[in-house]
A and B are shown apart, each in its own frame.
Chain A
């Protein structure tokens, strides 16, 4: 079953604009991760935020986490055509049986 649900399903913007993607989940988590997938390729890890953190930055990426609302957002600033990809949130939960559960993803298209 899918834990995270991304919103929107698809997003189209112009180069230089900011892109915001949201993720909601249902159960308690250890952490939440965002991955990027270019067409026909494997997933690449972008950023991880732990359940006791509220915000994290990495280059042009900013992730927030609100555990009370069970939601997260990924902001990509000053987008580039190369950012065109599918973005997935994945919730990490469990102890010794830790595993990731992925959402359906947001397809981001950045037009040059």
Chain B
């Protein structure tokens, strides 16, 4: 079974530039998550999709971050414009959830963003 795919693996940009990350979840997984992990900290949830609908984006800085999952499969996360404090690893995860209950989340390798 293929895992969660993310690209690019690394990205270096100047502040105020734009950047986009791509994620392809495990086939059949309805729920997709984007996390931000700053060095030395645990992952922080940015946005959660169930199929192509947003379930939770309460911690997404909506003035500069946006995300979409148009066909309920792959997803893109965009930052425009980037700030120095956006330097982090952006992790995508997916799981198969049906109603309440807990399922394991499967993580991709992440995209390491450096903003100069």
Contacts and interface: CB of A to CB of B under 8 A. Distances in A.
A3 to B, nearest CB: 9
Interface stretch (B11-19, B64-72, B75-83, B104-112): B104-112
B39 to A, nearest CB: 11
A112 interface: no
B101 to A, nearest CB: 8
Contact of B107 (A44, A98, A101, A104): A44
Contacts of A102: 42-44
Interface in A4-38: 4, 30-31, 33, 35
Taking residues whose C-beta sits less than 8 angstroms from the other chain, chain B's interface range is 20 to 34
A95 B100 contact: yes
Contacts of B100: 95-96, 98
B42 A103 contact: yes
A103 to B, nearest CB: 5
B55 interface: yes
B48 to A, nearest CB: 6
A42 B110 contact: yes
A96 B104 CA distance: 15
B45 interface: yes
7 contacts: A2-B42, A35-B107, A40-B112, A50-B102, A97-B56, A100-B105, A104-B42
